[in-house]
Each structure stands twice: as C-alpha cells, then as structure tokens.
A = this chain, B = another copy of it.
Amino acid sequence: MLDISELSRESGFSPSKLRYYEEVGLIRSVGRRGLKRLYEDEVKTRISLISLAQTAGFSLGEIKETIGSEGRPELDRKVLAARADEIDVRIKELAALRDGLRHVMNCTAENHLDCPRFQRIIRVALTKKQVDAKRSKVYLGKR
C-alpha cells in the first residue's frame, strides 16, 4: 500500500497527474487513510503501461478502452490485436523517418527535399495513409 507521494516518487508522475488519472478512471485507489488515498502496488505496472502507450501516441481515452478502467482490466482480444497492429504500422513509419533523417545527414544534395532517395523513404512510410486520405472524399481527415 502506497500513498500518493510514494507512488509519485516511484513512478515519476506528479501527484496532480495521479489524481487526474484516477478522476478519469485510468487508475484507482483502493481506500483512504483519513482523507489520503491508498494505492495498491499493482497500480505501478498500470502507470508504466499508460506511460508507454502515451509515447506510442494513444490518447488517454484510447488507453482506457484498451486496458479497461476497472480494477481488473477486462480485455477484449480484438481491441488488443488492433492496437498491436497499429503499433506495428507506427513502428514502420518511425523507422522510415529515422532512415530519412540519417540519409539526409549524409546526403550531399543541395535541397534534401528534392533528393529522390529521401522522397522515396518518406513516401513508402506514408503510402497507406495517403490511400486512406484519398479514400475519404476530400480531406475529411478529422485529425
């Protein structure tokens, strides 16, 4: 059992952030000592997971949908599989971006955006997205 400052220290999350996550249902405290929240150790893993999912570009809402908001996460295999696939796509995009940057570092072309090798690297990463964008009539790309 941890109080909020211990959890904060061990997780690197500010107390206000922890309270906020609890408010939106991403974590929960299991009781109070007086007014003060008490957290189970388990919540640390949960916080790590949230942190990781955020760097993967998921919103708190998506994270909640994926790992559940209750004590025991109810997991929907389909959702998990879909998230894993999304991450795979993102990894490919990131790899392309990284390769593009590394290429530009060593490329002697005057204007790097004109370098065909660079453009190819970028284009490959975006192929799927472009297709999606075209498919939605105009630019209805909501975000």
Contact = CB atoms under 8 A, between A and B. Distances in A.
Interface of A: 8-9, 11-15, 42, 45-46, 48-49, 51-53, 55-57, 66, 72-73, 75, 77, 80-81, 83-84, 87-88, 90-91, 93-98, 100-102, 104-105, 110-114, 118-119, 122-123, 125-126, 129-130, 132-134, 138-139, 141
A101 to B, nearest CB: 5
A101 B84 contact: yes
A112 B75 contact: yes
Contact of A105 (B81, B111, B118): B81
A42 B114 contact: yes
A75 B104 contact: yes
A51 B129 contact: yes
A113 B57 contact: no
A13 B139 contact: yes
A118 B75 CA distance: 14
Contacts of A95: 87, 91
